Amino acid sequence: MTTKSAWNITLAKQGWYKRNEIALTPWLFLIPGIVMFTMYVVFPIFQSFQISLFKWDGLGKLGTHGEYVGLANYEKLLTRDRSFNISLWNNLKWLIFYLVSIPAGLLIALFLNQAVRGIRLYKSLFFFPFVISQIVVGLVFTWFYDPQYGLFNGIIGFVGFEPINVLGDPGLATYGVIAAGVWPQTAFCMILYLTGLNSVDTEQVEAARLDGAKGMKMLWYVILPQLRPATFIAFVVTVIGSLRSFDLIAIMTNGGPFGSSRVLGFYMFEKSLSEYGFKMGYGAAIAVILFLIMMIFIGYFLWRTYQDEKAANQ
């Protein structure tokens, strides 16, 4: 009893902050983050919604130069704009084929997860594409695909195929760009899996081995379940990465040939900010749609994290 009242007396003597320290400190630490996030993420989201209701060239003030058009931008986007459809389909292609980097990353990680002399060097060489700039990756692949001098046509010519102009063919350009994107993304997934493999429980592996599991069975039933957190992160990061693909397209094809390799992000830029793009409202409408698509995945990601935390706390 005495100790408690003594405690209360000390509390009363202390200042307001000291008394509420436990409750306040986390918020204090959060303030910079919250301010930044509100200013640079939340606020622009609502601003995009607002701009998407206007016809505006993005140069003068929205209030004086903009013309309120309601949902006309969305109506045109969803019903009459073929470039938008192409971009949406290309986003879907990106989404699906970009995921190849997850199994590819796993494969390389399994391959590199051994104690050999110089393995650190090999690991860093495999990780290298993730370190270099996307712009450089794009340039390298552009030269690789070059119809006259490129290595790619040299290789397929050696096997007996006719040369093809990957980036100049409206049917192939997107796949060509995705392949360039998969290269660094594979390296990223590989690192995720390599760290995951470090924490694989050796006792379980030993036990499984005693029970006669090996090869694919070992991988599928023993290793992979333990790598689930890594797989989850790799999946989420790859999906979001595929939806924000932009730099590779800008450097490799500039959306071409004739707009066949655009994705929503690039189309948005082209409509609102590029050389001939003075339709800020229209661009904002594309941004909003891209945002809604992304929200599906981000929402799923948040929900899963929340569920995991809840399970961990029980």
- Which residues are near another protein by CB under 8 A? 57-60, 65, 76, 80, 82, 142, 147-148, 165, 167-168, 170, 253-254, 256-259, 270, 273-279
Cα–Cα dist 173/179, whole Å: 10
Cα–Cα dist 300/288, whole Å: 18
Q: What is the DSSP string of 13-59?
A: HS-HHHHTHHHHHHHHHHHHHHHHHIIIIIHHHHHHHHHTTEE--SS
CB of 290 to another protein, least distance (A): 19
CB of 142 to another protein, least distance (A): 8
Q: What is the CA radius of gyration of the chain?
A: 26
Cα distances (angstroms) measured from residue 279 to each of 78, 88, 131: 16, 19, 35
Q: Which residue number, 185 or 261, has a Cβ lying nearer to another protein?
A: 261
CB of 97 to another protein, least distance (A): 21
Q: Which residue number, 226 or 254, has a Cβ lying nearer to another protein?
A: 254
Q: Which residue number, 193 or 266, has a Cβ lying nearer to another protein?
A: 266
CB of 246 to another protein, least distance (A): 13
Cα–Cα dist 246/232, whole Å: 24
Q: Which residue number, 65 or 93, has a Cβ lying nearer to another protein?
A: 65
Q: Which residue number, 113 or 254, has a Cβ lying nearer to another protein?
A: 254
Q: Which residue number, 29 or 258, has a Cβ lying nearer to another protein?
A: 258
Whether 211 and 188 have beta carbons less than 8 Å apart is answered as no
Which residue in this structure is represented by tokens 């003075």?
A: 278
Cα distances (angstroms) measured from residue 280 to each of 82, 86, 266: 19, 20, 14
CB of 77 to another protein, least distance (A): 12
**Tokens standing for 184?**
């660094």
CB of 149 to another protein, least distance (A): 11
